[in-house]
Amino acid sequence: DAGVIQSPRHEVTEMGQEVTLRCKPISGHNSLFWYRQTMMRGLELLIYFNNNVPIDDSGMPEDRFSAKMPNASFSTLKIQPSEPRDSAVYFCASRRNRGLAKNIQYFGAGTRLSVL
């Protein structure tokens, strides 16, 4: 399996622009998580989905952030409009929510976002 795939790996944009981050979870996994990592705040959970349905978005910082999961193999995290303080590494993770491996999350390589 190719693991969790995130794109792009790096994104540089200007303040005010829309940014879309993409994630392809591991096939057969039915939970998907979006995290953000900064030096100041460490790794924070933004939102997670079970069976394509958003379960908890309490970590989403504000209305500028939105996430969708239109099917089991694809999710997006959108920031509109972007601000310099959104600069961070964004990770996507997936897991199978049943069976022996249900406690294990598999992370992608991340998207490094720089908002100028």
Partner 1 sequence: DAKTTQPNSMESNEEEPVHLPCNHSTISGTDYIHWYRQLPSQGPEYVIHGLTSNVNNRMASLAIAEDRKSSTLILHRATLRDAAVYYCIHMESSNTGKLIFGQGTTLQVKP
**CB 88, CB 34: distance < 8 Å:** no
DSSP state of 10: E
* ∠ Cα 113 46 66 (to 5°): 75
Q: Residue 45 Cβ, how far from partner 1 at the closest point, in Å?
A: 6
Q: b vs e for 37-48, b when ≥16 Cβ sit within 10 Å of the residue's Cβ?
A: eeeeeeeebbbb
Question: Shortest Cβ distance from residue 89 to partner 1 (Å)?
Answer: 9
Positions that interact with partner 1 (CB under 8 A): 4, 31, 33, 35, 42-45, 48, 50, 55-56, 91, 93, 95, 97, 102-110
From the CB of 50, what's the least distance to partner 1, in Å? Answer: 8
Comparing CB distances to partner 1, the nearer of 39 and 70 is: 39
Q: How many CA atoms lie within 13 A of 61 on its CB side?
A: 19
Nearer to partner 1, 71 or 103 (CB): 103
Nearer to partner 1, 71 or 104 (CB): 104
